[in-house]
Copies of this chain bind each other. A is one copy, B any other.
Amino acid sequence: MGEQDYRDMWKSLDLDLDVHDGLLSVLGQFYGDAYLSQEDRPEGMGYLDFVVSEVHGLRIKELFDAKAEGKKIFGTFCLFVPEELVLAANGVCVGLCSGADAGMAEAEEYIPRNTCALIKSFMGFKLARVCPYVESCDLVIGETTCDGKKKAYEAFEQFKPMHVMEIPQMKNYAADRALWKAEIMRLKERIEEVAGTTITEESLTAAIKKVNAKRLALQRLRKLRSAKPAPISGLDALLVTQVSFYDDPDRFTAKVNELCDDLEQRVEQGIGVAPPDTPRILLAGSPMAIPNWKVPLIIEQSGGIVVGEEACIGDRGFRDLVDEDASTMDGMLDSIVDRYMKIDCACFTPNDERLDHVIDLARSQKADGIVHYAIQFCTPYTMEAFKVDKRARAEGIPFVKIETDYSMEDMGQIKTRVEAFLEQLAEMPVAR
């Protein structure tokens, strides 16, 4: 497809073409600076570079083609939405734009100034008409994971058909699981209604296998990042996870496995993207939606390397598989219910298993220190950071907290703090 065809496509989605041009130009510049300037990148990243270059082009064209075939498009913002149900209903599941400042002024007409950047972003992308994904959606599926999203969806649904899932806030009681199962059933019905299809045992079995295969590929990548020296940068690995939310799942899984084949060779040959004594960082906290590369970029430009993301766009998304043993519809739905209730989102109280997971991941990835990243005004993760801090210190793992938004104004200030932290790690007697 040529440039003019894309413009026609965007026009048909009622995008604001001028603002959208500006956004793509900024994104291209940022990607060039952050990604293409990296040295010794694995060959397999070529596919990811291509995907990013076509993020508002070819992938949107694919959504158009899917719609022409009668498929419906479902947009999501959260790990709690089971992609399996969408795929089993012959739908397409895409994560929605929420990783960059767009339409901030428009958003502040509907939600408060003191709202986290991610939420402002998804409102802003919609209101400024610059996200071809949300414009392509037949249904947006939200959830009640935090006060900000829960209430912002009430504004959002004025502009787009929405279904909001209720997430229990505790896990230990029978009524919590019952509520969650009821919500899964309610979502299944809504998806079937919008898709105009019926989820069958056969289609759900296939969908469960498909999404598990994607998770296994991402687990494989995680394992390879535990090697010293690290065979891939944190920026590149984060991009892989970010792209997992909107790419075609089968193609994505195949491409990530190819990348991993490549990385395996590197690991065998002891080839890394940074010297073996580079301080290794686990990033933990709020989700980094594409193109939010700010904090890993600062870490890696300051001489560290990110070896894991304890986050929704990260380990939390692929840590657990759906059990594949069930064969009845109800059994499979129970397996989905159980798998998604394992998510250790900060929306739960208590959520102590997250503390275990952070430490386990730091150890398995051989991290020298933890950088806890929270989006400013993200109450669940800024609150929980205090507990992660305490636990990390108790385990003897150096820890630092960063709270920021999507603007670039505080990059210098964060860089100073990150450099000091990396210096502290380099000076530690046990380090590396």
Residues on A facing B (Cβ under 8 Å):
110-112, 114-115, 144, 146-148, 150-155, 164, 166-170, 173-176, 178-179, 182-183, 186, 346-347, 349-350, 376-377, 379-380, 382-387, 403
Bound complex: CA A110 to CA B346 (Å): 16
Neighbour of A154 across the interface among B148, B151, B186, B349, CB < 8 A: B349
Which residues of B sit under 8 angstroms from A152, Cβ to Cβ?
A: 383
A377's contact among B114, B346, B380, B387, by CB below 8 Å, is which?
B114
**Residue from the list B112, B150, B166 in contact with A382, Cβ < 8 A:** B112
Are A382 and B114 within 8 A (Cβ)?
yes
The count of identical subunits is 2
Task: Indicate if the CB atoms of A169 and B183 lie closer than 8 Å.
Answer: no
Question: Which one of B175, B384, B403 lies within 8 Å of A178 (CB-CB)?
Answer: B175
Find the B residue at minimum CB distance from A142: B349
Complex: A146 Cα to B347 Cα, angstroms: 10
Question: In whole angstroms, what is the CA distance A350 to B379 when docked?
Answer: 21
- CB of B168 within 8 A of CB of A173, answer no
Inter-chain contact B178/A379, CB cutoff 8 Å = no
Contact A166 B169 (CB under 8 A): yes
Which A-B residue pairs are the 4 nearest by beta carbons? A151-B383, A175-B182, A147-B379, A175-B179
B166 touching A383 by the CB < 8 A rule?
no
Q: By the criterion CB–CB under 8 Å, are A168 and B164 in contact? A: no
Contact A179:B168 (CB < 8 A) given known A379-B147, A380-B151: yes
Is there an interface contact between A383 and B182, defined as CB atoms closer than 8 Å?
A: no
Given contacts A170-B166, A186-B173, is CB(A346)–CB(B151) below 8 Å? Answer: yes
User: B150 and A349: CB pair below 8 A?
Assistant: yes
Q: Which B residues lie within 8 Å of A170 (CB)?
A: 144, 166
A103 → chain B closest CB, angstroms: 16
B148 in contact with A379 (CB, 8 Å): yes
A164 to B170, CA, bound (A): 10
User: A175 contacts which chain B residues (CB < 8 A)?
Assistant: 175, 178-179, 182-183
Instruction: Answer whether A386 and B153 are a contact pair too, CB < 8 Å, given A173-B182, A182-B174.
Output: no
Residues of B within 8 A of A186 (CB): 173
A384-B151, A386-B155 known; A376-B183 Cβ under 8 A: no
Which B residues lie within 8 Å of A386 (CB)? Answer: 110-112, 155
> In the assembled complex, how far is the CB of residue A117 from the closest CB belonging to chain B, in whole angstroms?
13
What residues of chain B lie closer than 8 Å to A346, measured between beta carbons?
151
Contacts A/B (CB < 8 Å), 15 sampled: A112-B383, A112-B385, A144-B349, A146-B379, A147-B383, A150-B169, A154-B350, A154-B383, A166-B170, A166-B173, A166-B176, A167-B169, A168-B179, A169-B169, A174-B182
| Residue among A151, A155, A170 with the highest chain B CB neighbour number at 10 A | A151
Measured between alpha carbons, how far is A144 from B155 in the docked complex, in Å? 23
How far is the CB of A178 from the nearest CB of chain B, in Å? 6
The residue in chain B whose Cβ has the minimal distance to the Cβ of A109 is B386
Bound form: Cα–Cα A178–B384 in Å: 29
Measured in the bound complex, the distance between the Cα atoms of B144 and A376 in whole Å is: 21
Closest Cβ of chain B to A159, distance in Å, is 14
Given contacts A150-B349, A173-B186, A179-B179, 15 further A-B contacts (CB under 8 A): A111-B383, A111-B386, A114-B377, A144-B170, A146-B379, A147-B347, A147-B379, A147-B380, A152-B383, A154-B350, A154-B387, A168-B179, A169-B169, A173-B182, A174-B182
User: Closest CB of chain B to A312's CB: distance in Å?
Assistant: 16
CB distance from A132 to the nearest CB of B (A): 27
A385 to B175, CA, bound (A): 32
Identify which of A166, A167, A168, A383 gathers the most chain B CB atoms within 10 Å of its CB. A383
> Which chain B residues lie closer than 8 Å to A150 at the CB level?
169, 349
A144: chain B residues at CB < 8 Å are: 169-170, 349
Cα separation A154 to B155 with both chains bound (whole Å): 30
Cα distance, A175 to B153, chains bound together (Å): 21
